[in-house]
Structure 1
Amino acid sequence: MDSSLTFRAGIKDVIPTVFGYIGVGLAMGIVANTSHLSVWAVLLMSLIVYAGSAQFIIVSMLLAGSPISAIVLSTFLINSRMILMSMSVAQYFKKESLLQNIGLGSLLTDETFALSMNKLNQTNQQLKTSWLHAANIVAYLVWAAATVVGCLLGNLITDPNQFGLDFAVVGMFIGLLYLQIITDRSKSLPTQLWVVLFVALAMYFLMRWVPGNLALIFATLLGCGFGMVVDHK
């Protein structure tokens, strides 16, 4: 990753993260196939919903015959963390049009958000729409293609977890966190490690009483506050 913010640079920078999309996308397609969803249904879900964990939940809820209202609410809660992520990225595109911001926000994912935060360390805290559009579009297309391929292969693979596909995103985020820590020169290493440890502990305790996705939002907000206190001191 370098300081270039061109469309081509966006494609180049996002390529390492697409392996996570491929792994989880294949697993998603396989699960959808075993739940008797058609290839077209899987493709439309990936293009319209475009949310890995939410799509797994949607498939299971459809299989259980859950009402549409419950599915919609569950999907919103699962992806509510994107509100925080979009707000964080939006500050770098204040001069862009509303249409541009809607386009960027609609395709923003956990992975492209983390990629953007890493990119800021290389560009003097600057981002451009061309770069983020490229990263978002490549991730979007790879995800859709992976879920479709997984659905087509569903009859051949009965247990995707035996290949470790369920760990693909976890491994990718560990790599992104490592890159963030070693490239962010605005904060000292001890400060970053303290924040990481605090958020991990917050998630551990919050998940005892709060659903996972809400726990993630609360842990993020608490981590931001803790980081401000530690950095100020």
Structure 2
Amino acid sequence: MDSSLTFKSGLKDVVPTVFGYVGVGLAMVIVANTSHLSVLAVLLMSLIVYAGSAQFIIISMVLAGSPVSAIVLSTFLINSRMILMSLSIAQYFKKDSLGQNIALGSLLTDETFALSMNKLNQTGQKLRPTWLHAANVVAYLVWAAATVVGCLLGNLITDPDQFGLDFAVVGMFIGLLYLQMITDRSKPLLTQLWVVLFVAVAMYILMRFFPGNVALLIATLLGCGFGMAVSPK
């Protein structure tokens, strides 16, 4: 990763992160085997919903006969963290048009957000729409393709966990967190470690009282507050 913010640079920078998408997308073999959804249905869901965890929840709730209102609310809660991410990254596109911001926010994901945070360390805290558009579009297309391939392989791979596919995204985020910590020189490493530890402990405790995605949202907010409190003035 370098300081370039061109479309070509965005294509290059996003390539390592999309391997996590491939892992989760191939986990759609579970969906193919249990829900009997067609490949077209899975493709349309990936293109329209574009949210891995939400897609699995939607499918399970549809199979269980859940009302549409419950499915919509569950999907909103699962993806509510994107509100925080969008607010955080929007400050770097204040000079760009509303249309540009809507397009960028519509395809923003956990992975491209984390990639953007790492990119800021190389560009003097600057981002450009062309760079993020490239990263977002590649991630979007790879996710759709991976879920379709996962469905096509549904009858060949009965247990994706044995290949470690369930750990693909976790491993990717560990790598992104590591890169963020070693490249962000605006904050002491010890401070960053304290924030990571705080969020991990908060998440562990909150998981006992709240659903996973709600706990994640609360832990993120608490982590932001803790980070502000411990950061050097």
Both structures adopt the same fold (TM-score exceeding 0.5): yes
Matched with 1:53 is 53
> What residue ranges of structure 2 are gaps of 5+ in the alignment?
none
| Cα distance between partner residues in 2 of 1:32 and 1:49 | 15
Which stretches of structure 1, 4 residues or more, deviate above 2 A after TM superposition? Answer: none
Task: Work out whether 1:4 is the aligned partner of 2:4.
Answer: yes
Task: Write out per-residue CA displacement over residues 46-88 of structure 1, whole angstroms, 9 at most, x where no aligned residue.
Answer: 0000000001111111111211111111111000000000000
| Cα distance between partner residues in 2 of 1:82 and 1:141 | 19
| Cα distance between partner residues in 1 of 2:143 and 2:160 | 16
Matched with 1:111 is 111
TM-score (norm 1): 0.98
Matched with 1:33 is 32
Matched with 1:168 is 168
TM-score (norm 2): 0.98
| Cα distance between partner residues in 1 of 2:218 and 2:63 | 30
Matched with 1:181 is 181
Secondary structure at 2:181's aligned position in 1? helix
For residue 161 of structure 1, report the CA deviation from its aligned partner.
1.2
Task: Write out per-residue CA displacement over residues 110-152 of structure 1, whole angstroms, 9 at most, x where no aligned residue.
Answer: 0000000000000000000000000000000000000000001
Task: Write out per-residue CA displacement over residues 86-108 of structure 1, whole angstroms, 9 at most, x where no aligned residue.
Answer: 00000000111111101000000
Residue type at the aligned position of 2:154: G
Matched with 1:16 is 16
| Cα distance between partner residues in 2 of 1:182 and 1:150 | 35
Residue type at the aligned position of 1:161: D
| Cα distance between partner residues in 2 of 1:145 and 1:180 | 28
Superposition pairs of residues 1-233 of structure 1, within 5 angstroms: 1-28=1-28, 30-34=29-33, 35-232=35-232
| Cα distance between partner residues in 2 of 1:80 and 1:7 | 28
Secondary structure at 1:16's aligned position in 2? coil
For residue 32 of structure 1, report the CA deviation from its aligned partner.
2.1
Q: Superposition RMSD on alpha carbons, in Å?
A: 0.8
Task: Write out per-residue CA displacement over residues 20-67 of structure 1, whole angstroms, 9 at most, x where no aligned residue.
Answer: 000101102x12211100000000000000000001111111111211
| Cα distance between partner residues in 2 of 1:142 and 1:176 | 19
> What residue ranges of structure 1 are gaps of 5+ in the alignment?
none
For residue 177 of structure 1, report the CA deviation from its aligned partner.
0.2
Secondary structure at 1:199's aligned position in 2? helix
Secondary structure at 1:149's aligned position in 2? helix
For residue 232 of structure 1, report the CA deviation from its aligned partner.
3.7
